[in-house]
Structure 1
Amino acid sequence: MVLICLCASVQAEPSLKHVGSLRWEQPEPWFGGWSGIEITDNGSRMTVISDRGQVTQTKLQRTNGRISGVGILSTKRLGKSAGEALNKKAGDAEGLAIADNGNAFVSFEHRHRIMQTNLMTGRTSGRINLPFKDTMGENSGVEALAISADGTLFAMVEQAQSGGAPFPLYAYKNGAWRVSAHIPRRGPFRPVGADFDTKGRLWLLERAVTPLGFRSRIRLFIIDPNAPSEHTLLTTIPARYDNLEGISVWNAKDGQMHVTLISDDNFMHILRTQIVEYTVAE
C-alpha cells in the first residue's frame, strides 16, 4: 500500500474565474437539499441528488455560456432494487459519481453505504459496504464521492480525524478498499464534494461553518506517488455563497474546462439553492 502525503507544489497552478450564479427555485415539496451534482453533455444536462432521497435530471438553458434556466426532465425518489422508496434516514443521499460508461453511484449518510443507482428509475442496488464506518459520525459520512477514468471509486469522509490528522482518501476497485492518499487538513474546512477532471486531477470542495455564514474552499490535487501536488484555487469569505456541497468539473465543446457547484438549502427558507460556475484558466 502506497500512502501519499500531498504537499504544496511549486508547479504553476490553474486559476478560477467566476462566470455566473443562479438561484434555482421550484415550488414542489421535494425540491431542495441538493448535495451531489454531475454536469454532462458539454454543460447542457445536470443530475442532482438530495438528502431527502430525490434524484433529478435537468436540461440547462444557457445564454452566452451562462446558465439562464433549468428545465426538469425527470425526478424520482431513490428506492430499493424492488422499487420501494427509501425511508428518511436510509435516503440521505450525499455524494454522486457518474462513470464515463453511465454507471452511477450514490453515497448515503446515517445508513452509511455506497449504492449503484439507476438514474432513470431511482432504484439502488449493488451495495458497497464501508469498512471505515467507525471513522464517521451519524451525520458526517461520505459526502465527497468521485470516480476516475479507470472506474475506481474515491471517497472521503466529512468527519475530521482526531489531532488534526489528514483526511484519508479511500479508493475502491475490484471489490476492495485501500487508502490511496492522505489529504492534508488545513484550517476548519471539511470535505463535502469531489470530482475528477479530464486530466485525472482530483478537485475537492470543502466547507466551513462560521457564525457569519458558510465558507467554501476548492483544492486541486495531483495524486502521483512520484510528484504529488496540491493547489488551493478558491477560498471564500463567510456568506459569499450558501451551503455549497456539490462539485462537477466538465469540458465545453470548445475544450474549456468548467467547475459547477450547487448548494444544499437544508429545506430552510433562509437558505437558497445556488448554482455557481467558474471557468478554469491553465
Structure 2
Amino acid sequence: MTSVAARLRHVASAALAALVLSSLTGASIAEVPAVEAMEISARPITEFQIGRAEKMFGPLEFVGGLELTSSSRNLGGLSAFRFLEPGSDFIGVADTGYWFFGSIVRDGELRPAGIENFRMVQMVDASGHAIDKKWLADAEGLAVKDGIATVGFERDHRVSQFRIDPSNMKAAFRELDFLVPRNELRQNRGFETVAYSAQKQSLVVVSEKSLDPAGNILAAIIEGPGKGIFTVVRDGAFDITDGAFLPDGDLLLLERSFSIASGVKMRLRRIEGESIAKGKVADGSILFEANMSYQIDNMEGLDVWQRQDGALMVSLISDDNHSILQRNLYLEFILHDD
C-alpha cells in the first residue's frame, strides 16, 4: 500500500508541477506538430494562353503546368518555394504558417507531370508549439542556401533563418537585421522577396509595396558586400510577390495586380544587377505580362534553376487564398537569353 500511495503522490506532484508551469508560461503542453502527407491530384496544363497553342511569350517559352488539388483542407496559401534539387525536390512556405515539401514528377520530354511525396507541417515557436496566429506566421518570402532557409514574414515583420529538416522543422535559430526601418513597412506589404545573389554572394530583401517618399519600393542588401538600403521603381499598379537572381546577377521579379474591372494580372520584370546597390534606385525591363486570358491566378512564388540539358528555367506557383474561386497552379518556362 505504501508503494502505491507513493506512486500516486508522485503522479499528483508531476501533474501539479505541469499545471503550475502552464499557468506561469501562459501556454499549454503541446506536442510537436505532425507532418501531414498529402495526395496531390495534378491536372496538366498544356496551353498557357487559353485556347491557343502558342509557346513563346516574349523571351519565355512555356513548357507546361499543373493545377493542384487535394482532399486536405491545408493545401493552399502557397507563398514562396525554392528547389532543393533543380526541377525536382522543393521546399516552400505558406502564408498560413506552414512549411511544404515535395517533388516534381516529369514525363519523357521533361515536362511537369505530377507532384509526389507532398507534405505540410506547421511552423513552431521556440518552445516547440505550433504557431497558430496568422499575424505571427504570415510567411511570404524564401531563400535557400547551404541547408538554411531564410524566410521573410509580414505583419510581424522579420527575416528569420531555419535549418532545413523536412521531418523535423524546428523554430528559427537566428533573426536577421533587415535594415529597413520597421515603421516604414506596411502591415500587409512586407518582404515578399528574399533572394540570394550567387554572383555577389549577398542576401537581398524586397518589400511588396512599402514605399519611400518618392513612391519607390523599399528593399535592402542585408548580408554580403555592399550592405544597405536601396529601392526598386514601382511600375504601374503592380506589386512585387517574389523574385530570384539570374546567373548573370540580374534580379527576376514576379509582380501581380488586381482590380474588379480587369481581374488578376501577373508580370515578370528583369531588374539590372548593377542597379541593385546601396542608395540606388533599381529598375529594369518588363519581360512579359499576362491577364485572365492566360492560365494564371494569384501568382505568388518564383524560382530560377537550370535544367539537365542546360536550359535556364523559371517556375511559378500561385496562392489560392483557400478560396473555392481560386486555384493552386504550378507553371514552368524556359527563359531564352537572346
Superposition TM-score, scaled by structure 2 size: 0.73
Give the conservation status (yes or no) of the 8 Å contact 1:210–1:238: no
Deviations 1:55-87 (A, max 9, x none): 111011011211111013543211124422223
Aligned 1:174-213 pairs, distance under 5 A: 178-179=228-229, 181-211=230-260, 212-213=262-263
Q: Give the 3-state SS of the residue equivalent to 2:209 in structure 1.
A: coil
As a proportion of its length, which structure holds more strand?
A: 1
Look at both structures and tell me which one has the larger radius of gyration over its CA atoms.
2
In the alignment, what sits opposite 1:10?
A: none
Alignment of 1:109-258 (within 5 A): 109-120=154-165, 121-123=168-170, 124-130=172-178, 131-149=180-198, 151-161=201-211, 165-173=215-223, 178-179=228-229, 181-211=230-260, 212-224=262-274, 230-238=284-292, 240=294, 241-258=296-313
* Counterparts in 2 of 1:159 and 1:41: CA distance versus 1, 3 Å: same
Q: CA 1:25–1:225 in 2, change beyond 3 Å: closer, same or farther?
A: closer
Q: 209-218 or 168-177, which moves further after superposition?
A: 168-177
Question: Larger RCO: Structure 1 or Structure 2 (Cα < 8 Å, ≥ 6 residues apart)?
Answer: 1
Out of 325, 330, 336, the position equivalent to 1:270 is 325
Distance apart, 1:158 and its partner CA: 1.3
Whether 2:82 is the aligned partner of 1:27: answer no
Counterpart residue number, 1:3:
none
Letter matched to residue 316 of structure 2 = L
User: Aligned-pair RMSD on alpha carbons?
Assistant: 2.4
Distance 1:239 1:207, change over 3 A: farther
Distance between the aligned counterparts of 2:293 and 2:141, measured in 1?
23
More helix by share: 2
Work out the number of aligned pairs and report it. Answer: 267
1:4 alignment partner in structure 2: none
Aligned partners of 1:215 and 1:237 also within 8 Å: yes
**1:8 maps to which residue?**
none
Report how far residue 161 of structure 1 moved. Answer: 2.1
CA distance in 2, matches of 1:31, 1:176: 39
The whole-number CA distance in structure 2 between the counterparts of 1:135 and 1:266 is: 26
Q: Aligned residue for 2:279?
A: none
Instruction: Work out the CA distance in 1 between the residues paired with 2:182 and 2:290.
Output: 31
Give the % identical residues: 26
- SS of the residue 1:224 aligns to: helix
CA–CA distance in structure 1, aligned partners of residues 291 and 214 of structure 2: 22
Structure 2: segments with no counterpart, 5+ residues: 1-57, 277-281
Q: Quote the Cα distance in structure 2 between the aligned partners of 1:108 and 1:175.
A: 24
Instruction: Give the CA deviation at 1:21.
Output: 1.9
Whole-angstrom distance in 2 between the partners of 1:174 and 1:200: 14
Using the size of structure 1 for normalisation, the TM-score is: 0.87
CA distance in 1, matches of 2:101, 2:211: 35
1:87–1:254 CA distance, 2 compared to 1 (3 A): same
Kept in 2, the 8 Å contact 1:79–1:86? The answer is yes
Secondary structure in structure 2 of the residue aligned to 1:260: strand
Q: Structure 1 residues 225, 23: closer, same or farther in 2, change over 3 A?
A: closer
